[in-house]
Amino acid sequence: MRLNREELLKRVELYSVVYVYLYLLRSLDRPLEELLRGVVRFVEVVGKLSERERWYMELFLLIVSKEKELDEEEVWIKLREVGGKRMEFELKTYSERKYEQGLQEGIQQGLLREA
């Protein structure tokens, strides 16, 4: 099977994301700030995060919060401290999605109560 340039680049990108994600998961025993610097570096290398990459980042940060016995919001605050302006943008996007998710869940609960 021959791959054209675009297909090859997509596969390389996917493998790179998965490799970095697995590397971060194997590093969970490291100090929190070191883990978060790894996340910041991941974001810097990838550039603008796609939805899949955001999902990976959110899942990883959830795992970090459980592993380090911290509230998820505490991890995000620390990430903002470690990552600066770049992470502010990603956090804003994250916060907006969490707000929308909460709003949708509230609407669904309201609809269930009416039924």
3-class secondary-structure state, position 87: helix
Considering only CA atoms, give the Rg of the chain. Answer: 17
State how far the Cα of 63 lies from the Cα of 59, in Å rounded to an integer.
6
State how far the Cα of 2 lies from the Cα of 8, in Å rounded to an integer.
9
pLDDT exceeds 70 at position 63: yes
3-class secondary-structure state, position 28: coil
The three-point CA angle 95-100-102 to 5° equals: 95
Closest by CA to 32, choosing from 76, 1, 2, is 76
pLDDT value of position 69: 92
Identify the DSSP state of 47. Answer: -
Averaged pLDDT, 22-45: 84
List pLDDT tens digits, range 82-102. Answer: 888 777 776 666 667 777 778
This prediction has a pTM of 0.61
